[in-house]
Structure 1
Amino acid sequence: MVRPFDFAVSDDPRVQAQLDRLGALSVPQGRIGLETIRALLDCLGNPQHDLPPVFHVAGTNGKGSTCAFLRAALEAAGKTVHVFTSPHLVRFNERIRVAGQLISDEMLADLLGEVLDAAEVGGIGASFFEVSTAAAFLAFARTPADACVIEVGLGGRFDATNVIETPAVCGIATLGIDHEAFLLSPDADTPAEPHNRIAFEKAGIAKPGAPLVTLDYTQGMNETIAAQAAKAGASVIRQALDWSITPTRDGLLYRDGKGSLRLPHPRLAGEHQAINAGLAIAMLRHQDTVDVPDAALVAAMEWARWPARLQRLGDGPLTALLPPGTPCWLDGGHNPDAGKALARHFNERRPYVHLVIGMLKNKDPDALIGPLAGRLASVTVVPVPAHDCHDASAFQRVFAPEATAASDVTEALRRLKPVGDEIVLIAGSLYLAGTVLRENGEIPD
């Protein structure tokens, strides 16, 4: 069965009953704006006004990893932290972390039921993500904590999380072209150039008095973000101007106006994680609401975890199908910037990659194939369960006839015969990544 939006299943019948209601929701064609989420939250007593200090993160790639570094640093500082991220990989509970723990099935069933009932009684045509956001905000408002890390779902300006009015700090991670149907749709008084338009939408999270910490983008994107921030009354703290993060032989060197800080290499794989770590550190050092000592920033490099982002899979039923000792990596990347990050990582380490790829039909098949082209030993195309996805023919157009099809990841791995220092990479979709983690017995916690 192909579903148009997110989906979720649960072993708990009370949770599943609410997830079935949630999965039946749809978004009216062309609807954008914050009116619906505001109406829904108003019916629930506006819990977004009672959250602990909020660290709000937008971006095309890297925002989830940045949230992971933020959480790790805050917890290393002894703080209790709520976290809201998306999408989930295996269980819906992964989206909502309450005071350091994944939301319990009992609380999740109760909160989803409460939000869905309010939406029905009020005649509010809320979407899957709007209901999810409202449920998270209810949980966070009702449970004491020291801080709240919230990841933007899509865009920024009209994302459901953007009802937060007084964040402690906001951040914008790597920017690129993605979700074009939503983020590049015609709209008055927005930049015409696509990358600048993306920057415009992401910078929509800027709020009065809250620092907006960013990376260093193109001149046009930097200027667009600065204009959005000025309009909102927010100061911009930009990489290269106000802070920097530099890889060294022994780790990372972070610098800003407050001084320098030496850090170990992040446990999260990929050189791009240095940038995500730097963004998180800059956000923490440029806010004055929650105290985080430098020792906690150092500890965060080892503490941070973020599944399915350049994750090396452990021993399990899937990896057992490969020749002993064959490295098997998993990544949910699906856009060109993600492809470039994967290429940088594997080009530095091993010459040939056996790519097992599953990609939704609204994504570009060349996004990963192109950057990895010189390193591909084989391409095996698999379906993304329960989603409309590309078949092998879409990849054959960019990888010649060598791309083959398999019925699932199990069949794909069973057919592979890596030799020497060749590795296996499963990539193309976070939904596929969730299936892989479940089948290999590596459920995110």
Structure 2
Amino acid sequence: MKQIFNHARLILADGVIERGALEIDNGVISAIHQQPLPAGQGEDLAGADLLPGLTEIHTDNLEKHLMPRNGVLWPILPAVITHDAQCVAAGITTVLDALAVGDLEGESVRLDTLHSSFAAIDQGMRGDALRAEHLFHLRCELAFPQLLQELEPLIGHPAVKLVSVMDHTPGQRQYRDLEQYKKYYGKKKVGWTEDTFLAAVDERRAKQAEYAARHKQAVVEMARTRGIALASHDDTDAGHIAEALRDGVAISEFPTTLEAAQAARAHGVQTVMGAPNVVRGGSHSGNVAALELARRGLLDILSSDYVPASLLHAAYLLEREAGWSLDHAIATVTVNPARAVGLHDRGRIAVGQRADLVEARLHGDVPLVRQVWKAGRRVF
């Protein structure tokens, strides 16, 4: 099946064609034209931006659909389908669902739904119920006692494309400041007193001492033997980056300081920052601002994290707020994340690439997604 998109602004990986045309043959880009084709050929996009479908490598957006209100657990497959629809409407055609393997908080929707969520996403993909392509990012909480037994049945699945090692023990990384930790988790633990809080900190530090090092060694080996990309999480200083390098990590997710981001760049580790951080103008937890890293040339990939619609919005803001070219900015949500997890058939408007595409128009500084195609098939 042949398709033509005419009179579009084409956002390539290395430049922009202000008015051009794109041809697709059986779901693959077959030709790129520097000028519009004669009127009447194909679908006229009337100057709208045409860019690659977005690749999201870390989203826990599914969690809010699994528990739309405190104490309400939604049926899992309908939650996955709604999450998928929200991602596609944001222009995301490849989704790495970030499923937490372990949680330090005891009773947790993450613990309760890990395997059922994994199975529902897999079922949705096999049954053609989902519009985006869903893959897996397994987030391994190193101090969780049952980490390995929860991870082993999942990590061999061929859709697992990324494994991250994370440690949310209070007093280090994202939670170096215990007061910040108390403030964040106090919203969930309404009954905490000073004594019960300090007891919880001691308990979590004890678990870290007992489990974290050997769990990390096992997780890293499991990922390496399967050729799965590895990411570190919440790196805070150059020492964390050095540790990540020893483990074979290629991606630093959400470094919390300028020092960590500079060390990552110096050693060829790609830096992921949150798109909500860009849209909001800063971190919600007091960490380094994504725009500061962008202005210093220390940002490689954006992730929507908990707001799918933030991904494309943040990419366009990089052009306005950080002075980036539009093609450079769009690469942070398309080709860069795709290549980081070994996906080489998508992420660019180029001949031979899969025709995952987004039509967008700016409304003020907010990009409006008009149409989305996955492998040439319209999904939004």
Q: TM range, normalised to the smaller chain?
A: 0.3 to 0.5
- TM-score, scaled to structure 1: 0.29
Higher strand share: 2
Higher helix share: 1
Q: Greater RCO between the two (CA within 8 Å, min separation 6)?
A: 2
- TM-score, scaled to structure 2: 0.32
